[in-house]
Amino acid sequence: MASKVNVITIDGPVAAGKTVVGRELAQTLGFTYLDTGIMYRAVTWLALNKGIAIGDETLLGSLAHDNPIELVEDNSEQVSVAGNILGLELREANVDQNVSIISKAGPVRTELVAQQRKIAAKSKIVMIGRDIGTVVLPDADLKIYLTASPETRAKRRWQEMQDRGETTELMTVLTQTIKRDEIDSGRANSPLKPADGAWHINTDGLSIQQLVKQIVDRTKTL
């Protein structure tokens, strides 16, 4: 299946469906899966635990360089960094509140992009994020840009938080979602935008299975 496709990138705004679609797609194709957002979360978690100021971009870049991030068992449910195996810790509220700020730091992005390219060079891969098709892997065999309405994305994120036992108002999540879009699209370094030649898919009203089937069928035509 998909013998001519070795690298698939999936970009898009928060809660567009990248994570669940990317993971299921990788499992279907037998590819490695990497959600690059977890790497930025790992740096954020490490910075917070070491007491590093989230505005100190130089120190944050050094932190990312000195503590390379590795996948655990070829997926990004968990990562290994600085001797720690991290999973659920990366979804804690303090990480949520600070990851977008740390993700804007140029030195951090430069270091993690280099690490992401090394991971991609090791095997066939589905890599998701916000600058994968534009910056990290611009020569990917298939570039996808997933999107959905802010309301749909906020509801998905709110439900994820409810499932983790976090209590918050849906309108609060919607406000945070819109703010995150503004930060991701407006940053000077690797802003969120569709890659040249990317296949746009609006995920509103589509199931994970429908989306994965569309993408798998697309790989067979390349």
> Which structure tokens are listed for 216?
């798998």
Domain final position from 123, 144, 170: 123
State the pLDDT at residue 2.
42
Q: Is residue 19 part of a domain?
A: yes
Domain final position from 66, 93, 123: 123
User: Looking at the structure, do residues 115 and 165 belong to the same domain, yes or no?
Assistant: no
What's the domain range around 71?
Answer: 33-123
Q: Is residue 164 over pLDDT 90?
A: no
Contact (CB, 8 A) for 48 and 181: no
> Which structure tokens are listed for 47?
């910075």
CA distances 141 to 2, 16, 63, 144, 169, Å, are 10, 21, 32, 10, 40
What pTM, to 2 d.p., does this model score? 0.89
| pLDDT range class, residue 8, cuts 50, 70, 90 | very high
State the pLDDT at residue 93.
86
User: Looking at the structure, do residues 151 and 138 belong to the same domain, yes or no?
Assistant: yes
User: Looking at the structure, do residues 198 and 150 belong to the same domain, yes or no?
Assistant: yes
Contact (CB, 8 A) for 149 and 177: no
Domain final position from 104, 123, 142: 123
Q: How far apart are CA 70 and CA 86, in angstroms?
A: 11
User: Looking at the structure, do residues 133 and 201 belong to the same domain, yes or no?
Assistant: yes
State the pLDDT at residue 192.
87
User: Looking at the structure, do residues 52 and 17 belong to the same domain, yes or no?
Assistant: no
User: Looking at the structure, do residues 168 and 115 belong to the same domain, yes or no?
Assistant: no
> Which structure tokens are listed for 108?
């951090």
User: Looking at the structure, do residues 132 and 205 belong to the same domain, yes or no?
Assistant: yes
User: Looking at the structure, do residues 137 and 197 belong to the same domain, yes or no?
Assistant: yes
| pLDDT range class, residue 74, cuts 50, 70, 90 | low
Query: Which pLDDT tens digit goes with each residue over 86-100?
Result: 999 998 889 988 998
State the pLDDT at residue 58.
97
Instruction: Quote the longest CA-to-CA distance of the chain.
Output: 50
Q: Is residue 171 part of a domain?
A: yes
The upper half-sphere exposure of residue 60, i.e. CA atoms within 13 Å in the direction of its Cβ, equals 27
User: Looking at the structure, do residues 177 and 204 belong to the same domain, yes or no?
Assistant: yes
| 3-class SS letters over the chain | CCCCCCEEEEECCCCCCHHHHHHHHHHHHCCEEEECHHHHHHHHHHHHHHCCCCCCHHHHHHHHHHCCCEEECCEEEEEEECCEEECHHHHCHHHHHHHHHHHCCHHHHHHHHHHHHHHHCCCCEEEEECCHHHHHCCCCCEEEEEECCHHHHHHHHHHHHHHCCCCCCHHHHHHHHHHHHHHHHHCCCCCCCCCCCCEEEECCCCCHHHHHHHHHHHHCCC
User: What integer is the mean pLDDT of 62-68?
Assistant: 98
Query: Which pLDDT tens digit goes with each residue over 110-126?
Result: 999 999 999 999 999 99
Share of the chain above pLDDT 70, in %: 97
Q: How far apart are CA 31 and CA 28, in angstroms?
A: 8
Q: Is residue 56 over pLDDT 70?
A: yes
Query: Which pLDDT tens digit goes with each residue over 169-210?
Result: 999 999 999 988 888 888 887 888 999 999 999 999 999 999
What integer best gives the mean pLDDT of the chain? 92
CATH number at residue 143: 3.40.50.300
User: What integer is the mean pLDDT of 39-44?
Assistant: 97
Query: Which pLDDT tens digit goes with each residue over 10-37?
Result: 999 988 999 999 999 999 999 999 999 9
Q: How far apart are CA 48 and CA 98, in angstroms?
A: 9
Q: Is residue 1 over pLDDT 60?
A: no
Total structural domains within the chain: 2
Q: Is residue 108 part of a domain?
A: yes
User: Looking at the structure, do residues 37 and 99 belong to the same domain, yes or no?
Assistant: yes
Those residues whose C-beta lies under 8 Å from the C-beta of residue 49, and which sit 6 or more positions away, are: none
State the pLDDT at residue 3.
59
